Chain A
Amino acid sequence: MTSVVELEQLSVTFGKRPILRVVDGVLNGRAIGLLGPNGAGKTTLIHTLLGFHPPTSGTARIFGQDITQHAKKVRAAVGYMPERDSFIAKMSCVHFVRVMAELSGIPAEHALERAHEALFYVGLGEARYRPVDSYSLGMKQLAKLAQAIVHGPKLIILDEPTNGLDPPTRNRMISLIRQIRDGGRARILLSSHLLRDVEECCDEILVLKDGHIAANCNLEEERKANRKFIELETRGGNRSAFVDAIGDLGCEYALLGERRVKVIMQETVEISDLYRLAYQNEVQIRRLNFKRDSLEDIFLKAMENGNGGENGRATDGRL
């Protein structure tokens, strides 16, 4: 299967300032989250993929098509929702989306129909004849999403889609992104500084730091792997005998303070085995958590360990 995005030794320099430094990576997720602190190179990476900035060296491919050699083919397969307000002035929303559809290659006779459909889909059906200039911030974001999906692209690039949205509109935006992701007809590349948005929508993340990849991991796999880690809070009984018994089952464990135990479960061991051992040793299990790294943990770990920095070298960045 062709990768969604392949980065091959990609470097971008503005003047003498390097923004992306020899970035390598392969992104395959249904929804890929692009994370990083301000100035990490997220937006530059998106702009480079769209052909707005030429790579200084290296290249990138979207669905196997080189972004420099097949720029038009790549852009035909991509829908882009920019971060800032972007629209054509003095035009009703339906005409604006129609123009964008036609420019994407949809014949005029179909473009209007598609524009109506896209606006109904994002929830602007009733307001579609109003000029975009008169829209609220949330409506403008939805209009930008409509123009990004009107031609049915294979990859939708969303740059900070929930910026400045109130909670109901944010929820609507997140739900639309998830619907598109789950529909399976389009892949999503979502750049956001809001970890919650990325966590809710994405199954793969790419963390950038100082123009390097600090982390690239599959959130689904990470979550599955985290199921093996269990944290117990215990009271009373013979705690040392209890943990020895856990060790006898073949599980690794660590004692955290006087009451907590962290256990790495073996495939053959069930949760009921832990309860049985606790009963035998008269230990009360007051709390049992599947300890999973939150996206925030992953992000912070990447920021601490990532190979960014002036003298850093790019790695594959896998956590």
Chain B
Amino acid sequence: MAVYEHLYRAYEGEAPTSWSRFLVIPRYALREVFKSKIFTAIFIVCFIYPLIAAILVYLHHNVNALALLQINVRELLPIDNTFFRTFLEVQGGFAFILTVIVAPPLISRDLANNALPLYLCRPLSRTQYVFGKMAAVALLLSLVTWMPGLLIFLFQASLSGFAWFWSNLWIGSAIFFGSMAWIVLLSLIALAVSATLKWRVVASGALVGLFFVPSAFGEIINNLFLTRAGNLISLWATMNSIWRGLFGLFERQTGRVTGRITNPIYDNQLVDIALLEPPLWASWLVVGLVCAICVWVLARKVRAYEVIT
């Protein structure tokens, strides 16, 4: 089928392995994403905090620099599990912003333009298609979460020595697994929303709503019933609990309410209630359930043609 011959001929060359074929999808998806200058600017902003964190690590180990800046090392944040948990919280927020920008059109655009039959008539399964789309989000989020996190961790280890690295290896694994849990949750929810709603703006709005509306509702439950059980319907609070657990900072009791409460539930009663966070297993269960629901939605929606019976 050479251009000048205008003839039809089959491809007779080598073909790449079929398992890696789904990676074509994220490659083209990311190329489209980075065509936007605004997105590229936001993506660059995502690296400001890791840069600050790296500078802090550097300052901790550079006496000359501290002397030059006239800073006492004790005034600096300690480089420990709290430091890295804060890092993950900040970068997790940026990851959410990136997901809201990137993920909503990923499947919805294919559904709107009837492109799914074109993907699925090729040697590509529905699972591989979803993995491909998920890989586009996951790769982007990895670049702003666990990848810089582990780099900073290794930077700190290289400056503090092997003993520090060995005794704090669990922090490295917490960075990785904490990030992965957030990435999987974010990308699955985003893809499920994208597969359900065909309009990008509506899908973006729904994604933001799914994270903030239940959080607000959960906060209302917490304040009305003087509990922390409402955190279970807040994906932010649930993920924070998981992160605290992974970084060894989880405490069940996070407060105590004493005195006379004037709300519709307690109606001016005198109370003394310990505010207990939901147990860690419950947070993991909520995340697992949400992921399972998203997988179910994707299994129903990602089809070449929808059959109405």
| B-binding residues in A (CB < 8 A) | 14-17, 47, 50-53, 71-73, 75-76, 78, 80, 82, 84-91, 95, 99-100, 102-108, 110, 114, 116-118, 120-121, 125, 147, 149, 151-154, 179-180, 183, 185-186
Contact = CB atoms under 8 A, between A and B. Distances in A.
Contacts of A95: 28
A247 B276 CA distance: 106
Given A99-B28, A102-B24, A110 B3 contact: no
Interface stretch (B112-120, B157-165, B170-178, B266-274): B112-120
A164 to B, nearest CB: 15
A49 B132 CA distance: 24
Nearest to B105: A89
Most chain A CB within 10 A, of B7, B119, B121, B122, is at B121
Interface residues of B, number: 40
A34 B303 CA distance: 24
B130 to A, nearest CB: 14
Contacts of A89: 109, 112-113, 115
A106 B2 CA distance: 16
Interface string B56-95: 0000000000000000000000000000000000000000
Contacts of B114: 82, 84-87
A97 B14 CA distance: 19
Contact of B11 (A50, A71, A121, A151): A151
A315 to B, nearest CB: 28
Contacts of B41: none
Given A17-B309, A78-B121, A99-B24, 10 more contacts: A72-B125, A80-B121, A85-B113, A89-B115, A90-B109, A102-B21, A103-B119, A103-B123, A104-B122, A106-B15
B44 interface: no
Contacts of B119: 103
B23 to A, nearest CB: 10
A300 B15 CA distance: 46
Contacts of A14: 307, 309
